[in-house]
């Protein structure tokens, strides 16, 4: 089934969209609140391009909405396929990153998670581009942010 506005007139696709939004936002919010930066993070030496902490919450909220929409569109179009496998892989890596970085305080371990996460994001864009440009475009800001986050993670690992 194609993910369109017309598909929202039927209950199945609408329920699926709500489920994607609830799971992605719910798990992301839970992880974010449980792994909020604390004294350890504040004490780290930071690169000059490190943004203030208040930036991360709104950015991730917006990105998680786009991630959920892309996942929903992909699941409706092709629930078993390369694009869906890349979507699942990136979200699992995404959810693993904060506990590794903030709770385990493993800067290099978090870098080892975010690099393949970025690869899965870019792979999703490439695979989805010809099949569902809207889903691919939902991942473009995500790819930009995770590229920046990878640079920040790497810089923090080197500096500390």
Residue-range domains of the chain with CATH: 6-159 (1.20.1260.100)
Model's pTM, two decimal places? 0.91
> Mind listing the pLDDT tens digit for each residue in 104-140?
999 999 999 999 999 999 999 999 999 999 999 999 9
- Cβ proximity of 69 and 20 under 8 Å: yes
Q: 124, 90 in Cβ contact below 8 A?
A: yes
What are 65-108's pLDDT values in tens digits?
Answer: 999 999 999 999 999 999 999 999 999 999 999 999 999 999 99
Mean pLDDT of 144-160: 98
Confidence tier at 4 by pLDDT (50, 70, 90): low
């Amino acid at each position: 089934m194609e993910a369109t506005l017309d598909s929202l007139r039927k209950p199945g696709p609408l329920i699926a969209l709500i489920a994607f939004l609830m799971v992605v936002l719910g798990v992301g919010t839970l992880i974010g609140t449980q792994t909020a930066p604390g004294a350890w993070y504040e004490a780290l030496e930071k690169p000059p391009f490190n943004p203030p902490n208040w930036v991360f919450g709104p950015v991730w909220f917006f990105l998680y909405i786009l991630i959920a929409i892309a996942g929903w569109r992909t699941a409706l179009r092709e629930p078993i396929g390369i694009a869906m496998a890349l979507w699942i892989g990136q979200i699992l890596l995404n959810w693993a990153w904060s506990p590794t970085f903030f709770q385990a305080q493993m800067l290099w371990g978090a870098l080892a998670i975010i690099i393949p996460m970025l690869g899965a994001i870019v792979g999703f864009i490439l695979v989805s581009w010809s099949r569902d440009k809207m889903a691919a475009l939902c991942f473009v800001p995500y790819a930009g942010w995770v590229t920046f986050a990878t640079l920040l993670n790497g810089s923090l690992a080197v500096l500390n």
